[in-house]
A and B are shown apart, each in its own frame.
Chain A
């Protein structure tokens, strides 16, 4: 993926936080907000502009679950693994998503449609276990529901 404005985009993020202590993580947040993930080219650019080793940037990027190194899919499929969802069977839901989409956590399907994300607590434990696709929230999801949830979005995609 070539982002033509990458150098200026990164510069804006770097300039915003440049003089603050602990700026790296804030810059990475800004970059991810902008692109939906942190492309390697952006990390290389941050490394140059901050004069910080790329290895240090990747230590931070891979330490925090939140940062993504791959472009997100068209639909972000999040499964909650907070305590309530976990106890109500979220692991079997993740297993089912993996089987249908052939992706691991943090990966995007080959056709770029779905990105599997595991999140910790969406703040609606009463609805556990919870799955979200984009903005849409599915509650009390059963393993057998997963295929329908995926099919529903695949159809939306085809229509558009």
Chain B
């Protein structure tokens, strides 16, 4: 057992004992002292950017930044006295002097960290003349909107873009007062390597990077009597939406969401989990085809994450042939709504509008990514909203969400097995695929469907699975920085004719998978990611069917419409292609 060195010190006269290396900020929290901070996100390293968290240490002339200073043995820290509070106020007033006063029309109104801290400090007047940079709004990606003039230069978006996601779309350009967030050389985000994962927007403390809000578009569609609006919700949304209404993190609200969406006016309520089961049928069969029948290159790489698709097209264009051609679950539900559902119910598909509620900003890009996204003859998914947009719609609708009765989805494209629901967490797609691949290869069901070694938040999970004497080597990576390790190993094996390190790889762009998606509620930490994932795994464990191929409505769909996985019709509606793209268009 390793021993942890502990340090003892005083914070506001209270004795604290914490492991060496603990910051003053965290140590203070352990004794119920909240030091205010603006730039420090619990999920990211301290940048010491804002200067709000300053504290005094006895016998030290300088004030220290609590976010990045480790507590040392014998320190005597004061976190609050009139001088400290006044200094913090001044720092805040200076930050506000470069921030617009557009709170009432800002997307972050009532959910902004700067606004909250200004309210806490009771700032009542502008002491300094307001000076705002004249910088244009960037809407080019269609997924996130960047308004650099609202930026307080905390650097969170850059940290997450460069060091967590390894995308390097954003950086600090220029210096001093002219410092701004921008892609290299003041080009637009859509001309940069940005993969639209939206992690920048989920970490921004203000409205400087915000999801492209399309709620008004959905309200207009719902209002139009000539439109038949249909909705679907992604796995990870059901365990995060409750955070907007005071539920404990990870509460699964699937059935409340169904009844809510009907109240909003949707004519049919489907579930992306159905699409996830179907993705497994197609992709699982694709894997068996490549692995058992040697028909296609290995390793097979999952493709249901649109930010990952974008990343692969830009960073690994030479490895496109390894990518599964299977579309993502919400695209499948969209395509089937405008074909299968429309035909069965005799509805003109031109009048159907499909809205998908996703934990993701990149889905807004995916619905227009390529011509296969209109396989039904119409755009398969018309609007994609994030969880954060849905929370705002619920508030606008005047529904008492907590008191809503439970309802079921429309089962035709809304029934699901446990396999579909765990798609929302890292490792979930792999686990769901293995459950079905085992059945397809051996013709037998698994005794234990739980593949617990692909679950959890470890950045790269490598393991192998024994399918009746055949070893399947797999890797699961989440957070794009972790992908390099896996992909470099594969590239090295291919180039140097070495044995393949893996047969099957799952990638989700966001840390934790979709539960930690860029469109999910703010202030996510690993603890929150775990609790949201637990909400999904608990649901999986309690469902009558655990495997995609056991879903009776998926079986019915194949019987009545698609024939079999990888059939001609499946290829037409449920599969896609990829194109290598340059990192920079300009």
Contact = CB atoms under 8 A, between A and B. Distances in A.
Interface residues of A, number: 13
Given A40-B185, A53-B162, A69-B185, A58 B168 contact: no
Q: Looking at chain A's contact residues, is the secondary structure mostly helix, strand, loop, or mixed?
A: helix
A139 interface: no
Contact of A62 (B174, B192, B583, B584): B174
Given A40-B185, A53-B162, A69-B185, A58 B173 contact: yes
A58 B185 CA distance: 6
A145 B584 CA distance: 45
Contacts of B162: 53, 55
Interface string A49-93: 000011111110011000001000000000000000000000000
Nearest to B187: A40
Contact of B183 (A55, A62, A63): A55
A58 B171 contact: yes
A8 to B, nearest CB: 21
A62 B175 contact: yes
B133 to A, nearest CB: 14
A53 B184 CA distance: 9
Interface in B528-586: 583-584, 586
A121 interface: no
A87 B82 CA distance: 39
A38 to B, nearest CB: 10
A55 B170 contact: yes
B547 to A, nearest CB: 42
A54 B174 contact: no
Nearest to B185: A58
B396 to A, nearest CB: 38
A145 to B, nearest CB: 30
B563 to A, nearest CB: 47
A136 B173 CA distance: 33
Contacts of B185: 40, 43, 54, 58, 69
A59 B584 contact: no
A53 to B, nearest CB: 4
B172 A59 contact: yes
Given A40-B185, A44-B584, A69-B185, A55 B175 contact: no
A18 B171 CA distance: 24
B169 interface: yes
| A43, A55, A58 interface centre (most CB from chain B within 10 Å) | A55
A56 B171 contact: yes
A58 B184 contact: yes
Contacts of A44: 584
A59 B180 CA distance: 11
Interface residues of B, number: 16
B175 A54 contact: no
A53 B193 CA distance: 10
A57 B192 CA distance: 14
A105 to B, nearest CB: 11
B174 A55 contact: no
A54 B583 contact: yes
B505 to A, nearest CB: 23
A43 B586 CA distance: 12
Interface string B182-204: 01110000001000000000000
Nearest to A64: B175
| B162, B183, B185, B586 interface centre (most CB from chain A within 10 Å) | B185
Contacts of B583: 54
Given A40-B185, A54-B184, A58-B185, A63 B169 contact: no
Contacts of A58: 171, 173, 184-185
Interface in A100-157: none
Contacts of B173: 58-59, 62
Contact of A63 (B170, B174, B584, B586): B174
A148 to B, nearest CB: 32
Contacts of A54: 168, 184-185, 583-584
A75 B228 CA distance: 66
B54 to A, nearest CB: 26
A49 to B, nearest CB: 14
A108 to B, nearest CB: 17
Nearest to B166: A53
Nearest to B178: A62
Nearest to A60: B171
A40 B586 CA distance: 9
23 contacts: A40-B185, A40-B586, A43-B184, A43-B185, A53-B162, A53-B184, A54-B184, A54-B584, A55-B168, A55-B170, A55-B183, A56-B168, A56-B171, A57-B184, A58-B171, A58-B173, A58-B185, A59-B171, A59-B173, A62-B174, A62-B175, A63-B174, A69-B185
Report, nearest first, the 4 A-B pairs whose CB atoms are least far apart.
Answer: A53-B168, A55-B171, A58-B184, A54-B184
Given A40-B586, A54-B168, 10 more contacts: A40-B185, A43-B184, A55-B170, A56-B171, A58-B171, A58-B184, A59-B171, A59-B172, A63-B174, A63-B175
